[in-house]
Amino acid sequence: MLHDPNRIYIFDTTLRDGEQVPGCQLTTSEKIEIAKELEILGVDVIEAGFPISSPGDFQSVVELSKAVKDPIICALTRANTKDIDAAVESLKHAKRPRIHTGIGASDMHIKYKFNSTREDILERGVAAVKYAKKFVEDIEFYAEDAGRADVVFLAQMIEAVIAAGATVVNIPDTNGYCLPDQYGSKIRFLKENVKNIDQAIISVHCHNDLGLATANSIAGIQNGARQVECTINGIGERAGNTSLEEVAMILKTHQLGYYTNINSKKFYELSGMVSRMMRMPVQPNKAIVGKNAFAHSSGIHQDGVLKFRENYEIINPEDVGIDQSEIILTARSGRHALKHHLERLGYVIEKINLDEVYERFLVLADSKKEIKDDDLLLLMGDGTERN
Ligand code: KIV
Ligand code: ZN
């Protein structure tokens, strides 16, 4: 199939890799609610679950397949017929089903997880793809722990699974080990050395153990990957997966020439929904969707942003579904921020001795973490003229 070389496909695994996190389990109806929002967001693929893992997960894939029509619905399996049979059955209502099968590719996994050999593992991977292909056209193969795998063996494996019918090849940095240039080079090597690579899409699936999941995913794209596996809020195993909102906003902000189908204005709302349902708070300083992502608290930054938003904001908050950035009043704020809030509350600045109010504001601010509207009203007293 011909693909636009600049189109980046977004594969959301919030409901599979994200939902594996202890305490984040969802009911089927919660998963459906999130999946419908992911559909509106514009993701291309929803990984709905790992059907063999439990009857509940199996049923969720069945129900999501019925409820969601536009994105591809994907089910995870290991490289064995039992897992694949369960996935095929769970996807029977999906308009666009995909099976995501695979096996470990690093020598560590081959030896210590499978107690096997490269030759045997390669054969098992190929057999799984061929078996799944009998039932479903769209087969994604994952080479688990590819980040630590020998690149020549990885290339051999990828070539063999594409020849067996894989339409997408996933190169996971399962343990979040790689540096961006290492991961990018691995993708480039596959692009340049796997003979049939143009018959498949290369997918990146990065974990965040060293805080590099997003950087590695972008490096993968810049070296030839065209699908990114990610989750809302970067939720996922251990330190998490690549954050969907970060990837989408990097591509948009840097105008690297790639585009996605994502409507970024949905990010803030969806982030809150996933956080609430999964009982997983979003850290305040989380890029794009954290509470402080568009909050300015130091006087220098507040003055700069009030003069010209772009001085201290590289993203328009409206683009991610946040009405406006916040100017937080603290003891680090300057006169400009105080004036901004007083005007917002309707005070006529020309009729105020701003220096005198500012002195009193600082005394109050030193005794509190943050100055809210009520504090300002008290500070100004009843007699001060307002519009
Ligand atoms: O991190 C990983 O390798 C995975 C695979 C199952 C795709 O989640
Ligand atoms: Zn993963």
Which residues of the chain carry a pLDDT beneath 50? none
Q: Is residue 162 within 8 Å of 115, Cβ to Cβ?
A: no
Closest residue (by CA) to atom 7 of ligand 1? Answer: 142
Ligand closest to CA 146: 1
Q: Which residues line ligand 1 (CB under 6 A)?
A: 17, 142, 144, 170, 172, 174, 205, 207
CA 229–ligand 2 middle distance (angstroms): 9
Ligand 1, atom 5: closest residue by C-alpha: 144
User: Of all atoms in ligand 1, which is nearest to the CA of residue 172?
Assistant: 3
Nearest residue (by CA) to ligand 1, atom 8, is 17
**pLDDT score recorded for residue 384:** 75
Which pLDDT belongs to residue 383? 72
- Cα–ligand 1 centroid distance for 47 (angstroms): 11
Ligand 1 atom with the shortest distance to the CA of 13: 8
Task: Pull the structure tokens for residue 320.
Answer: 């991610």
Q: What is the pLDDT of residue 387?
A: 78
- Rounded to 5°, angle at Cα 209 from 208 and 213: 25
Residue 144 three-state SS: strand
Q: Which residues contact 369 (CB under 8 A, 6 or more apart)?
A: 330
- The pLDDT assigned to 110 comes to 98
